[in-house]
Amino acid sequence: MASNVTTPGAVEPKFWMGGIEPMKASYGKLMMWFFLISDTFTFSALLVAYGYQRFSFPAYSGEVADFVNSNLYWPIPEKVYAAVPFLHGVYLPLVFVGIMTFILIASSVTMVLAVEAGHRKDRATVEKYMLWTILGGFTFLGCQAWEWAHFIHGTDNGTLMTIMENGKMVEKTIFGANLTVNEYGPAAFADFFFFITGFHGTHVFSGVILNILIFFRVATGLYDKRGSYEMVEKVGLYWHFVDLVWVFVFTFFYLV
């Protein structure tokens, strides 16, 4: 911030001499950006590894309507994610994940509105929108918990599959999913589901915790005393990044 800039003596300040912000962003904000870059690489690695696995495995080639689960080809996501809470047995492909996407986008909007109110030092509005963001985060986590439970528990009928067990090929009906076997497709499919959505869910969870912490500090007037609501902006960057990652997970895990 300009108020913190000190011009050393009579020396004329130069761009990289220190004391000024060459990128017009504070140290903390800049470091949040660079942390997010490193996190981008982690998520990219996970998603690209998923792509690698998918490219090295046969794809389902028949009609979508005739699709049945098998561990011999990669499943069609819309056939796997077709359940919605309280509507047991109703085939609603991608509806629930669509709702989750909407919740996350909406919570991103309330976050950026909190940041905007922070620029005006409007404490009540910052509090209001941060609470909405926290609520959105918890709702998303609740949805994800249900989705995981459903994925692990599986469908009513399961899938008859030939799998390797104790060194022998055996035919058996598989229900739900774990890290070694699942009823939807090859083992790697469920593994990537757990790792990618799990890693993203962990980020949402830490984002909610950070939001609660910052909300508490807003509510107790710390940023009014400090004269700047920049911490809201920094936690906002993190929250939008979590939303951004979900946009990519939604496309590459649920749509393609």
| Measured CA distances, 133 to 112, 200, 205, 207 (Å) | 9, 17, 12, 10
Cβ closest to other proteins, residue 176 vs residue 236: 236
d(CA 177, CA 184): 8
Contact 98, 81 (CB under 8 A): no
65 binds other proteins (CB under 8 A): no
What gap in Å lies between CA 129 and CA 117, rounded to an integer? Answer: 9
Of the candidates 63, 73, 65, 250, which has an alpha carbon nearest to the alpha carbon of residue 159?
73
# residues near other proteins by CB under 8 A = 58
144 to 183: interface string for other proteins, x by CB under 8 A: ----------------------------------------
Among 20, 35, 122, 148, binds other proteins (CB under 8 A): 122
127 binds other proteins (CB under 8 A): no
Nearer to other proteins, 149 or 255 (CB): 255
Among 109, 131, 135, 212, binds other proteins (CB under 8 A): 109
67 binds other proteins (CB under 8 A): no
Single out the residue of 8, 13, 85, 119 in contact with other proteins (rule: CB under 8 A): 119
Q: Does 55 bind other proteins (CB under 8 A)?
A: yes
Per CB under 8 A, 10 contacts other proteins: no
Cβ closer to other proteins: 176 or 241? 241
Burial (CB count <10 Å: 0-12, 13-18, 19+), residue 210:
middle
Cβ–Cβ < 8 Å for 177, 184: yes
- Which one of residues 17, 31, 37, 164 is an interface residue with other proteins (CB under 8 A)? 37
Is residue 191 at the binding interface for other proteins, with CB under 8 A as the rule?
no
How would you class 116 by CB atoms within 10 Å of its CB: exposed for 0-12, middle for 13-18, buried for 19 or more? middle
Q: Which helix (H) or strand (E) holds 95?
A: helix 95-119
The CB-of-142 to other proteins minimum distance in angstroms stands at 20
| Continuous segment of H or E residues that includes residue 194 | helix 187-219
Between residues 94 and 141, which has the closer beta carbon with respect to other proteins?
Answer: 94
Q: Which of 39, 40, 127, 154 binds other proteins (CB under 8 A)?
A: 40
Distance CA 120, CA 109 (A): 17
Of 143, 99, 136, the C-alpha closest to 240 is 136
Q: Whose CA is closest to 222, among 109, 126, 111?
A: 126
Interface contacts to other proteins, rule CB under 8 A: 1-3, 22-25, 30, 33-34, 37, 40-41, 44-45, 48-49, 51-58, 64, 76, 78, 93-94, 98, 101-102, 105-106, 108-109, 111-113, 116-117, 119-122, 236-237, 240-241, 243-244, 247-248, 250-251, 255-256
